[in-house]
Amino acid sequence: MKRRDFLRWGGLGAVVSLAPREESARSVDRVVCEPARDVPIAGDGDVVVCGAGPAGVAAAVAAARKGARTRLLEVNGCLGGIWTAGLLSWILDYKNKSGLMAEIWDRIEKRGSRAFTKSGNATNAYDPEVMKIVLEEMCAEANVEIQLHTRVCAAVRNADKRLTHVITESKSGREAFAGKIFVDCTGDGDLAAQAGCGFDMGHPETGDTQPFSLMAIISGVTPEGIDGFFRDDDSKDWAGPKDRLKAEMEKGGHSPSYAKPTIFRLRDDLFALMANHEYGVKGTHAHDVTAATLRARKELHALIDGLRSLGGAWKNVHIVATAEQIGVREGRRIHGLYTVNTDDLREGRTQKDAVCRTTFGIDVHSTDPKKEKGIEKTGLRAKPYDIPLRSLIAKDVKGLMMAGRCISGDFIAHSSYRVTGNAVAMGEAAGKTAAVAAKSGRLPSVVDISEIL
């Protein structure tokens, strides 16, 4: 590899390496001082998207379809993030979304893997295994260059505070990817934080974040057998099935950490279960994520074992799979050119540079189990409101955008826009904007909304 294909990596800056340099790592107290290293530039692109969840896939496909050479980097072994590795299996706030969100549903339905009620109406549920292949097909058709099993670990920016490279770790070691425009779709804002962006996280007074939840796929039950414990009609009664399921779990000897446990049908005798809350943990701490995952998986198995002990309709119930990735509701909220705020929701504000109309309400999962194990009562009511393009553009670093739950917003607003139907719409807008900016040699902040609509 030529010298120009290496970065000398050491701290915040990057220069072209002139010669190999031998140094030894040394330990001082409880700190290890690493030597400078040459990091190979493994690839480049007009647009580099980090994180391949709902927002990231949408950003990559949209950018590629607009003619940009696009790279998509993902830590998991599949595309889809919380949709697939997280087994979410349920999409919120999608009904008013056109574009890629509607296309994804269309592809899912054509494969026969979207759930319907007994009266024949489509639900929010899908088969996560089919979602994986649908997203891979969309990226392949658009010529998106994908690299899985790759984690963002650092960023390089120049003297003008422009992001030039993302640094990753994988089985291939430490690698750099160069780009003209970058889109952070990591959920927790990992790339933006590494690049030096300011951010907020958690409740403004306590710093507490909403709890995690680990999803599970279950089988061994029939829709007829557990009728009344999940919503399989077109009524608006969500509370009844949840309350009955909680009582049934308690009868089996275990009270769920989430006060409103939910079962929803994916297909035939395949169901998804959400019954877990992990409190007092941060998605940016590996120790917290690990401990929460272990506790959650143990709880889910205890809940299902308890149901099975009841016999009857539950006698054969079992867990098919628990999620590889625990569901993290809240991470960093990166500072952008505009901060989506509580007043936007309260007033139902429109924006001249709107990229997404959010219709989902305020949904703060309790941060304190001593007070509440369900949804916190905020005393606020949201009206449909717009997310502006400006909230997807980083304030502190040039050439960087965000999409998904790490965009610029306050604690209350985030609890509404964080759901995945909105993430897809945001990702699509970010991808189009990034492509236009990269191909025209401009920054996202000067791309007009008319150029991407």
What mean pLDDT do residues 117-135 have?
Answer: 93
| Number of residues that make up the chain | 453
Band (pLDDT 50/70/90 cuts) for residue 129 is very high
Percentage, residues of the chain above pLDDT 70? 94
CATH 3.50.50.60, the chain: domain bounds: 43-204+331-451
pLDDT at residue 16, as a whole number = 34
Could you give the angle at the alpha carbon of 180 between the alpha carbons of 169 and 85, nearest 5°?
40
Q: Is the pLDDT of residue 20 over 70?
A: no
Query: Predicted confidence band at 23 (pLDDT cuts at 50, 70, 90)?
Result: low
In this prediction, residue 29 has a pLDDT band, given cuts at 50, 70 and 90, of confident
For residues 332 and 406, the answer to whether their CB atoms sit within 8 Å is: yes
The predicted pLDDT at position 417 comes to: 98
Instruction: Report the range of poorest mean pLDDT among 30-39, 309-318, 351-360, 425-434.
Output: 30-39
pTM summary value: 0.94
The CATH code belonging to domain 43-204+331-451 is: 3.50.50.60
Q: How confident is the model at residue 12 (pLDDT cuts 50, 70, 90)?
A: very low
- Measure the CA–CA gap between 93 and 29, rounded to whole angstroms: 50
Look at the alpha carbons of 413, 414, 415, 419 in this order and tell me if their dihedral is positive or negative.
Answer: positive
pLDDT category of residue 233 using cuts at 50, 70 and 90: confident
pLDDT band at 138 (very low <50, low <70, confident <90, very high): very high
Distance CA 90, CA 92 (A): 7
- Give the helix ranges, DSSP H, for 179-266: 190-195, 239-251
Instruction: Give the separation between CA 379 and CA 381, rounded to whole angstroms.
Output: 7
Give percent of the chain above pLDDT 90.
Answer: 86
Mean confidence (pLDDT) of the chain:
93
pLDDT digits (tens, 9 = 90+) for 186-232: 999 999 999 999 999 999 999 999 999 999 999 999 999 999 999 88
Residue 301, C-beta contacts closer than 8 angstroms, at least 6 positions apart? 319
Q: Please, which pLDDT band fits residue 396 given cuts at 50, 70 and 90?
A: very high
Cα 317 from Cα 31, distance rounded (Å): 49
